[in-house]
Structure 1
């Protein structure tokens, strides 16, 4: 029955170690992060099969420490960032596919088009630049004519025609106020 409390201990320590390693590690899985997270998962399961919980906690702590050190070195030195994480690769330039980079990424035109559709882009010619980021996500910038109209752009356009906008009333409560101003004891009115 010892394996039951050991399992709970390992789950708690695993959550604690992942929390210490940071949100970036969980949300933006780079190659190095993926290897470390898989390794931690494998290590955490080992004591249930084997016998040493302490050795497992130490090993998982070492993995997380190395991950934090690698992320710190990447922040300080561009050379290490390029070496460990890499750079974004341009796959669309001025509305044209960059076939050389698509081949380098082993990404087919159909796979790229699928990513574009998922991002709500229906025409490659609407893109000034399209990239595959280091985490595998699609990055893009629209051409001037394809950019959506923002409220700020609309206001500028209307002001050019002589329309004046009324002064805004006082700032309405925001769901971000708690984060910005510190934690409060009650939920915002909008969420109750």
Structure 2
């Protein structure tokens, strides 16, 4: 039964090694990083598995059940979630890049600009706050002047400049016709809960 303890130690070591590897390696693996991650997986399992089929199956089952247990523990405990998954890191706060956090994450300004361009942001000065999420994705909030106009804001402006005018036109046309979600909702009501 030593292999159970070895497996537990190797899972903990794997989590720590992947945390050291960083968020970027999880979200966008390069060829070299992919080879390293696969190698780590093979190296972690090798000391435990040896040549026994039963042992291999038991170790694999233990690894899978460990993942399920760890996910359950993350749901139940914020401390476990923070240890295993981590928390998003604020890399831009109030329009200012935090160089300490960027250095700690090994994330360059060029990489930040690349991620922002992918999201359609053309000016770094338009960003109010930005986070590097635990999955390696970039989350951001635009400054008020850079945000697109919403339908709600447009309606308020129209009401301010044209008071008393009924909200017709596009809004009324939308009420008359069904959108894609209304169509689905109507089918669900017709089916009376029957599965399709």
Partners of 1:127 and 1:141 within 8 A in 2: yes
Paired with 1:176 and 1:64, the residues of 2 have a C-alpha distance of 41
Q: How does 1:98-177 map to 2 (within 5 A)?
A: 98-160=98-160, 161-162=162-163, 163-166=165-168, 167=172, 168-169=175-176, 171-174=178-181, 177=184
In the TM superposition, what is the alpha-carbon distance from 1:132 to its structure 2 partner?
0.6
| 105 and 78 in structure 1: CA distance in 2 versus 1, 3 angstrom threshold | same
Match of 1:19 in 2: none
Paired with 1:91 and 1:134, the residues of 2 have a C-alpha distance of 13
Partners of 1:94 and 1:125 within 8 A in 2: no
Match of 2:22 in 1: none
Match of 2:9 in 1: none
SS of 1:83's equivalent in the other structure is helix
Paired with 1:132 and 1:39, the residues of 2 have a C-alpha distance of 25
In the TM superposition, what is the alpha-carbon distance from 1:164 to its structure 2 partner?
2.5
SS of 2:136's equivalent in the other structure is coil
In the TM superposition, what is the alpha-carbon distance from 1:99 to its structure 2 partner?
0.7
Q: 5+ residue gaps in structure 2? A: 1-25, 28-33, 46-50
In the TM superposition, what is the alpha-carbon distance from 1:165 to its structure 2 partner?
1.9
Q: 5+ residue gaps in structure 1? A: 1-28, 44-49, 186-192
Task: Report 1 or 2 for greater relative contact order, CA contacts < 8 Å, sequence distance ≥ 6.
Answer: 2
Paired with 1:140 and 1:61, the residues of 2 have a C-alpha distance of 39
In the TM superposition, what is the alpha-carbon distance from 1:105 to its structure 2 partner?
0.6
Q: How many residues matched? A: 145
| 58 and 170 in structure 1: CA distance in 2 versus 1, 3 angstrom threshold | farther
Match of 1:11 in 2: none
What do you get for the CA RMSD once the two structures are aligned? 3.5
Of Structure 1 and Structure 2, the greater helix share is in 2
SS of 1:120's equivalent in the other structure is coil
Match of 2:86 in 1: 86
Greater C-alpha Rg = 2
Show CA shifts across 1:125-181 (max 9, x none).
211101111111101011111111122221222122334223312533439838x94
Paired with 2:176 and 2:67, the residues of 1 have a C-alpha distance of 48
| 99 and 165 in structure 1: CA distance in 2 versus 1, 3 angstrom threshold | same
Deviates more, 1:149-158 or 1:95-104: 149-158
